[in-house]
Chain A
Amino acid sequence: MAGLFTIDFTTALLFGAVTAGIPLLLAGLGEQISEKAGVLNIGIEGMMLFGAYTGFLVAFKSGSIWLGFLGGAGGGAAVALLMAIFCVWLGMNQIVIGIALTLGAEGLTALLHHFQFSRTYPRLDSIETLPLPLISEIPVLGRALFDHHPLVYLAVLLAFFLVWLFRRTYIGLNLQAAGDKPAALDAAGVDVYVTRTCAVLATGALAGIGGAYLANVGAGLFLPFMTNGAGFIGIVLAMLARGQPLWVLLGATLFGVSLALTTALQVAGLNIPTDVVQMLPFAMVMVVLVLFARHSYLPPALGLPYVRGER
């Protein structure tokens, strides 16, 4: 096993960890925004998958990876809009609607993809990376961490941006109040429904971009069911992070490494059954949950629809 960690292997592993971790980071940060505002967004898996589909389609038709991300954001937000209508405005059960949206997105994307491409899976041209000047020259780490698609850097910056947004802006206060005591926000003259709707749409857009990254950059193609639980891992990350974006960043890194290990170990041809290796990230979820779940923080009004005048 000691011979396994050659320079090339380590570089590939870390590079893969970043690629695998970015969708989780975007999903986790997105989920965090919703949860802060009091909406448990179980539909995030569906938003991600739909974003992967629309993101791939736009990139494939337009040839622009950036338009692809925009398409992904739009796709994710479209699913999120349904979530907002049903759960925020109509006050329906967030868990039921979330599961329905995920199942719906899985079926719909598989169906649409089949209609369009039948059983072929066209690929995008390989995408260009943006090596950061100087630091990308560092041995091992430079290639692994600082030679990625620009979206990777933006996603990491987003975590820091959210720290600022939550702590230093009225939007941050409003989000927290909507999840902690929506009636207080209402009495302060801020519309709880609008606040929550915006939060859910932001979640959808971020999850959609995460899905588009998974399809366009990670795989270079769209496959039905390709998110494979990434959205759910995002929910776990958000819950364990207790409202702190930087903890989502840390968690996404850990899960990214474990996902990359899965691939790397398969490539390395170790004598372990593939099924066991593929289980790794999910076993990791369970271990982390067992160890840390009691420390998870959930806003008091999470999952509860708001109706003015009811307590």
Chain B
Amino acid sequence: MTDRDHAVVPAVAVAGITKRFPGVVANDDISLTFNPGEIHVLLGENGAGKSTLIGILAGMQQPDAGEIRVGDRAVRLASPRDSLDRGIGTVFQHVLLVQSLTVVENLMLGGPWSSRLDRTSALARFRELCQVLAVTLDPDAQVGRLSLGEQQQVEIIRALWHGGRVLILDEPTSMLTPAGVRELGLVMARLRDQGVAIIFITHKLKEAYEFGDRISVLRLGRTVGEITKERLSAMSEQEATDEVIRLMFGPTATSEQGEADTMAHEGRRRRRTVVVDRAQPPFLLVRDLSIETRPGESALIDVSFDVWPGEILGIAGVDGNGQKQLAEALAGQRRTASGTVALRNTEITHLSVAARRELGLRYITDERLGEGTVAAHSVSTNLFLKEIGKPPFWWRGITRWDRIHSAARNKIATHDIRTPSERTPIGRLSGGNIQKSLLARELSTESGVVIFNKPTYGLDLHNIRSARARIRQGADAGLATIVISTELDELVELCDRIGVMYQGRLSGIVDNVEGAEIQIGLLMTGAEAA
């Protein structure tokens, strides 16, 4: 650090911020400083704790421990109002504008409630900020009619409305066109030059290098590294990218992370050694698969791959890049727009969910409650949910509860489902036990290909271990397996090959060999398109 750095009073500084949610430590002793006139990039995978930290700075969440300083004073940000009053403005990942109001009405929101609208001074402030950002917007346009880029400009103006000491941008580029991203970059640079401290969150390393003055990397709720302003400006893009990838995905340098890390290492040692026989025909063949998408959701464009019997194919990617759409399209829950899906020699592109199931395709959803199980129904009912009406559990329309319950007791014992009784509503079980029930149901009957969507999401370490063991067992027994996950460690532990989804496309498939993480990381962040 130079002397000049010492003279700068940080706009905002957090020290020792810790925030726990049931079962997870979202922020673990995070300390960061954000200086005025600097674009500070926060990088990290899903679940690294970025959103929680933003929520805390925006006053939406309260930390369990730690200190927040604004300027040179320690503050408590108990509500969004507190943050706004201290000049901390946030542009959230999802648009937070009232679509039925006009631009200027949205900006006036939160004014003194007892008075009439002060349009004149609001318009004056609006023009002033438009000038600062060098954007043109119609103050009387209804927000719902604006493009996403324009809506974001309105949000930036709103974030700066009360002073603008600190501007937080949570993944602002995820919904923008390339032109919109360039414009945002110019706006950020302009604000930086005016002395605003900008906190910029992104998944795209290119943007981080291009726009950022300083980069901090979060991983599993901790800060694992920082590239200072001086170092960053001396680095080439390639050097910076390499360093960040190493921080984000590489083996962790410190061994103090406890069981999670030991397990990860243990897992890495247990990388699969089964050799997949690629001489025989693949079991699942996907060619140029595209689906029709609803507005606002990720597309699925021209995805092609094969999965062989006994193989585990991982699908990596930042959340929301089309993984869910892929899973649902394969399961038959979404209509195919173009392309084909085939099981061995049978084309299943236009078959229903039930028909695909009949042919041996299983989909284990990430929404265990709701899509996967009926919370209010008993464990027994849920275990046989997909056999309703069929013998031996149903006989001419009559439910044979005795058979269902006794078969359920068997499954509960063999799959180690911890439940008070087979009649307990499944919604009362823990996530891990619901997942076990789901696996028990889906994997019991004859199947050929299984798609797991985030199989260990939200589970504790013990259940993670057993779920991964189940997946491996299935593949060893010859199932063609697809595992969709946002946790790279998990995929590296389980898979033979790993494909990466980026903006609705499969941007590449990598053999899971030593060092594959780096290439996957590049594909995930769009730094390299295959």
User: Using a CB–CB distance below 8 Å, which chain A residues touch chain B?
Assistant: 168-174, 176-177, 180-181, 183-190, 299-300, 308-309, 311
Contacts and interface: CB of A to CB of B under 8 A. Distances in A.
25 contacts: A168-B117, A169-B113, A170-B109, A170-B111, A170-B113, A170-B114, A170-B115, A172-B117, A173-B117, A174-B113, A177-B98, A180-B98, A180-B99, A181-B99, A185-B98, A185-B110, A186-B60, A186-B80, A188-B80, A188-B110, A189-B80, A190-B81, A309-B60, A309-B61, A311-B94
B248 interface: no
B108 A173 contact: yes
A93 to B, nearest CB: 15
Contact of B96 (A172, A174, A183, A189): A183
Given A169-B117, A173-B109, A309-B61, 5 more contacts: A177-B101, A181-B99, A185-B110, A189-B79, A189-B81
Most B CB contacts (10 A, CB to CB) among A177, A188, A309 go to: A188
B223 interface: no
Interface of B: 55, 58, 60-61, 79-81, 84-85, 90, 92, 94, 96-101, 105-106, 108-117, 158
B80 A176 contact: no
A176 B110 contact: no
Nearest to B91: A187
Given A173-B109, A189-B84, A181 B98 contact: yes
A177 to B, nearest CB: 5
A2 B99 CA distance: 52
Contacts of B90: 187
A198 to B, nearest CB: 10
Contacts, number: 78
A117 B55 CA distance: 59
A96 to B, nearest CB: 16
B201 to A, nearest CB: 16
Contacts of A311: 94
Given A169-B117, A170-B115, A308-B60, A177 B109 contact: yes
A168 B116 contact: yes
Nearest to B97: A184
B109 A184 contact: yes
A172 B58 CA distance: 25
A82 B316 CA distance: 49
Contacts of B106: 184
Nearest to A174: B113
Contact of A173 (B94, B105, B114): B105
A187 B105 contact: no
A280 B116 CA distance: 43
A180 B80 contact: no
A170 B116 CA distance: 6
Contacts of B84: 188-189
B96 A184 contact: yes
Most A CB contacts (10 A, CB to CB) among B98, B109, B113 go to: B98
Contacts of A187: 58, 60, 80, 90, 92, 96
A176 B80 CA distance: 19
Contact of A185 (B85, B94, B109): B109
B157 to A, nearest CB: 13
Contacts of A171: 113
A181 B98 CA distance: 5
Most A CB contacts (10 A, CB to CB) among B79, B84, B113 go to: B113
A188 B61 CA distance: 15
Given A176-B101, A186-B80, A309-B61, A170 B96 contact: no
B124 to A, nearest CB: 17
A169 B116 contact: yes
Most B CB contacts (10 A, CB to CB) among A170, A177, A300, A311 go to: A170
A30 B100 CA distance: 21
Contacts of A189: 79-81, 84-85, 110
Contacts of A180: 98-101
Given A187-B58, A189-B84, A176 B98 contact: yes
Contacts of B158: 188
A19 to B, nearest CB: 34
Contacts of A186: 60, 80
Contacts of A185: 98, 109-110
A184 B55 contact: no
B108 A170 contact: yes
Contacts of B112: 170
Nearest to B94: A311
A173 B109 CA distance: 6
Nearest to B158: A188
Contacts of A177: 98, 101, 109
A181 B158 CA distance: 15
Contacts of B60: 186-187, 308-309
A190 B96 CA distance: 14
Contacts of B55: 309
B78 to A, nearest CB: 11
Contacts of B58: 187
A71 B127 CA distance: 49
Most B CB contacts (10 A, CB to CB) among A168, A186, A189, A308 go to: A189
A183 to B, nearest CB: 6
Nearest to B84: A189
A224 to B, nearest CB: 37
B82 to A, nearest CB: 8
A173 B112 CA distance: 11
A184 B92 CA distance: 10
A170 B97 contact: no
Contacts of B61: 309
A308 B80 CA distance: 11
Contact of B100 (A168, A176, A188, A308): A176
A176 B105 CA distance: 11
A185 B105 CA distance: 12
Contacts of B99: 180-181, 300
